[in-house]
Structure 1
Amino acid sequence: MVKQVAIIGGGIIGATAAFYLSYLQGNENVQVTLFDDDHGQATKAASGIISPWLSKRRNKRWYALAKRGAELYSDLVKAAQLSDKAYQQTGTIVTRKNHEDLLSLYHDAQIKQQQTPAMGHVELLDADAVQKKMPLLTNPPEGIFVSGGARIDGADFVKELLEHAEANNVQVKHERVSVLPNGDVRSSEGTQTFDHVIVATGAWMHETLAPLGLNVKVRPQKGQLIDLTVAMPSKWRNMPVMMPESMSDIIPFNGGKLVIGATHENDEGFDLTPKPAARNQLFENAKAFISTLSESQITDMRVGTRAYTGDFAPFFGALPDLSSFLVGGGLGSSGLTTGPIIGYFLAQAVLGNHSDDWSRYTKPVSSYIG
C-alpha cells in the first residue's frame, strides 16, 4: 500500500526530505506532496559556507549534527547530480584576529583532521599565502585553510533537489496550507488525511502547529546579505570562501558573483524589507578585505527569516502525542549545514529505516514544542 506523505515547507529540510523520499530504498511505497508558499524562506535567500569543524560553538549535539551534515554533502551532491552553481567544494579560510588564537585553532584543527576525513587537509597560511588562494583580496589576513570546506547557494540547491524529486514521486505545490486540529491538512484542493506529515516551516512553525494546541519555542531572526559583481579572470576560478572572525563571510562564485553576509538581526520579527544600514555594514565589512570595491558593484540584497531556539540548537523528531507528524527546525545560522542531514533523517523515518540514535544530535522535541 502506497503511503501518502505531506511535506509542509520547501526550504533546506523540506527539499532534502523530498529528494530522499524520491531516491532512497522504499521510495516506491510513498507518494509525496510538498507545499511551500515561497515567502520569507531563509534557504532561498541564503548563500553560505559548509565548514563547521572550527566553529567556536561548544554544544556537542550541535557539533555532531553539523559534522554529520558536512559529511553527507559528497553523497548528496552525487545522488542528486547537483551543479557547481548549487554546491562546490572550494576550501575554506578561517581567520582569527589574534595570532596566538590562530595558532591554537590550527593545533585543534590538526587534531580534528586526524579523525575527520571530510575536513580534507589543513594548512596554516600567512597573509601572502591567503592572497594567492584568494587573489581578489587586497588586504588579506592570515588564516587556516581547510580543503574540505565548500560554498552553497540556497536557492539553486533547493531548486535542483526539487527538480530531481519531481521527476520521481513528488508533487510540489506553491501554496500555503493549514493543519487542522485533527491532523488533517487543508489546501486549495480541500482537506486531506496523510499517513505522515513533515513540518519544516522554519520561523513560521508557531503558526503551522498552533491548531494542534502546540507552542513552538522558536523566534525569528532576520538575515540580509548582498551580491556584488566583480571581475574574476578564469584563472581565479574555484577560489576558497573566507570566514573572517567577527566579520561577514566572503563567498566568491565563478562568473563574477561575490556574496557578503549575512546579518543576524533579532529585533526585526518577520520584516523582509532590505535595510540601508545593513547594506552599508555588509559593504564596509567587505571593503576591509577588498578595498577596491565600489557601491556601484552591488547588484542585489537578499533577505530571509531564520528560526532560532533558546539554546541556539536545531531540533527534529516526532511530535510526542502525534507520531505521524515529524518536525525539523530551529536551524539558525547553521541551516545550510544541518538542514540536509535533518531532512535525510526524517525521510529515513518515514520510510521505516530509522536506525540512527537521534539523541546524539538533538534534545527531545518536547524541549522545544509543548
Structure 2
Amino acid sequence: MRADVIVIGGGVMGLLSAYLLANAGKRVTLLDRSAAGSEASWAGGGIVSPLYPWRYSQAVTALAHWSQDYYPGLGQQLLALTGVDPEVHVTGLYWLDQDDQADALAWAQREGRPLHEVPVESAYAAVPSLGAGFLRAIYMSGVANVRNPRLVKALRAALQGMPLVTLREHTSVAGFVQDGARICGVRTGDGELLADHVVVTAGAWSGELLQSLGLSLPVVPVKGQMILFKCAEDFLPSMVLAGGRYAIPRRDGHILVGSTLEHVGFDKTPTEDALASLRASAETLLPGLESAELVGHWAGLRPGSPEGIPFIGEVPGHDGLWLNCGHYRNGLVLAPASCQLLADLMLGREPIIDPAPYAPLGRLG
C-alpha cells in the first residue's frame, strides 16, 4: 500500500517523527538499513541538555528548552503505552572548573535557566565520590538524562502497535524516485516504495543519501567513544562534567563516561587509546571508578553539522523531500522539538517555534 510518508532512518529522529505523524493520521513507512535505534541514538549518553548550553546559538537553545519540558511526559506516555521505561532521570548537572564559567552564568541569567555558581564544598557534599582538587562549581537543577537504548526500544514498540505504521528494518535505500522535480518515493533492494512525502532522518549518513540528487548536505560523521561502569546505585547522585568529559548515572548504578570527538569518517571501531583516555578521565573525576567493574566500551557516529544547527524542513526545488537531521552532539535532547516541528510543518500546523533557522533553504550546496 502506498504510504503518506516514508521515513528513512530508524534512530530517535525517525522513530519519533513516525510516531508523531502516525498519531496525526498519516500512513508511515519507516525504513532502516539495520536494526532501528542501533546507531548514534543507542550509543550516546542521553543528557537532556547540550553539554555546554551557553556555547550554542539561539536556534539550538530554542529546541533544547522545548524538549527538556516535553521529555518527562514523553517518558510516562511511552511507559504506559509499551511497558518499557525510558528512565527520564532528573539528577541535575555540575560543571567543575569551567574556563568560561562567566559566559555560562550570563547565559543562564539571560535565558532564565536555573544554572548558578555554588560553593565547591556544596558540590563535594552533594557528590561525595568526586575527585579531589576541583576549585569552582556551577550547577543546573532539573537536568535529566534519558536511558537512550530504552527510549528507542520504547519508541519501536509503540510504532509496532500502531496500525498506520509499517516498520521495515534491514532495508537499505539506494536512491530516490522522482516525478519531474518532485520526490515521490525511494528505491530499495526490494524495489520501489512510493509516498507523498519522504523524510531523511538518517543521521551521519544523511549527506551520502542526498548526493544521489546532486545535493551537498554538510552533515559528516564524527566518532564518539564511551565507556560504562557498574557501581552501587547511590555512587553518583548527580551528573558531573569536567575537563571536557562527563559522567552520567543511571538509576541502577551504571555510570556512563564520555566521550571522544574524532573525525575519522565512518569508522566506528573502539580503540585502546580512547579507552585509556576515557578511563583516566573517569578516575580523575570519580576516583572510585578505578576499582569499579568496566562493563562496556563502544563508539558511535554523530551527525556533525555547522554550528550544530539541524536541518528541519522541505528541500527547495525537491518538493516532497524533507529533512530532520544534522543534530551533531545534541540529537537526544533536541529530538522531541525537532520531530514536533517537522510534523507541524508537514501537516500545515502552527509551528511550535520559528522554523526559519533550521530551513534547508540556502544551507545546501
Please report the TM-score for the alignment, with normalisation by the length of structure 2.
Answer: 0.86
8 Å CA contact 1:218, 1:368 repeated in 2? no
User: How far apart, CA to CA, are the structure 1 residues paired with 2:305 and 2:272?
Assistant: 28
The alpha-carbon distance between structure 1 residues 172 and 95, as it changes in their structure 2 partners (threshold 3 A), is: same
Structure 1 alignment gaps of length 5 or more:
114-118
The secondary structure found in structure 1 opposite 2:198 is strand
Q: Which amino acid aligns with 1:298?
A: L
Q: Which amino acid aligns with 2:276?
A: N
Counterpart for residue 66 of structure 1: 64
Counterpart for residue 281 of structure 1: 277
**1:322 maps to 2:318:** yes
Q: Which amino acid aligns with 1:172?
A: L
Aligned pairs for 1:84-103 within 5 A: 85-97=86-98, 102=101
Deviation digits for residues 222-265 of structure 1, max 9, x if unmatched?
A: 011110112234xx68x221232x32111011212110011111
Counterpart for residue 125 of structure 1: 118
Q: Which amino acid aligns with 1:346?
A: L
8 Å CA contact 2:197, 2:320 repeated in 1? yes
Counterpart for residue 251 of structure 2: 254
User: How far apart, CA to CA, are the structure 2 residues paired with 1:79 and 1:140?
Assistant: 43
Aligned pairs for 1:291-330 within 5 A: 291-294=287-290, 297-330=293-326
CA shift at 1:14, angstroms?
A: 0.8
Please report the TM-score for the alignment, with normalisation by the length of structure 1.
Answer: 0.85
Q: Which amino acid aligns with 1:125?
A: V
Q: Which amino acid aligns with 1:170?
A: V
Which of 137, 147, 162 is the equivalent residue of 1:143? 137
CA shift at 1:102, angstroms?
A: 3.9
The secondary structure found in structure 2 opposite 1:212 is coil
The secondary structure found in structure 2 opposite 1:206 is helix
The alpha-carbon distance between structure 1 residues 104 and 272, as it changes in their structure 2 partners (threshold 3 A), is: closer
8 Å CA contact 1:128, 1:140 repeated in 2? no
**Count of aligned positions:** 352
Counterpart for residue 18 of structure 2: 18
Deviation digits for residues 55-92 of structure 1, max 9, x if unmatched?
A: 23242222222223323323423333386544222222
Aligned pairs for 1:42-61 within 5 A: 42-52=40-50, 55-61=53-59
Aligned pairs for 1:227-266 within 5 A: 227-233=228-234, 239-244=237-242, 246-266=243-263
**1:171 maps to 2:169:** no
Aligned pairs for 1:199-214 within 5 A: 199-214=200-215
User: How far apart, CA to CA, are the structure 1 residues paired with 2:291 and 2:29?
Assistant: 43
Identify which range, 304-313 or 140-149, moves more after superposition.
140-149
8 Å CA contact 2:48, 2:333 repeated in 1? yes
Structure 2 alignment gaps of length 5 or more:
none
Counterpart for residue 9 of structure 2: 9
User: How far apart, CA to CA, are the structure 2 residues paired with 1:309 and 1:343?
Assistant: 18
Q: CA RMSD in A?
A: 2.7
Moved over 3 A (4+): 81-86, 101-108, 121-124, 354-361
Deviation digits for residues 147-205 of structure 1, max 9, x if unmatched?
A: 22111232221111121122112222112223335132123442121111111111211
CA shift at 1:360, angstroms?
A: 4.8
User: How far apart, CA to CA, are the structure 2 residues paired with 1:57 and 1:111?
Assistant: 13
The secondary structure found in structure 2 opposite 1:293 is helix
8 Å CA contact 2:75, 2:86 repeated in 1? no
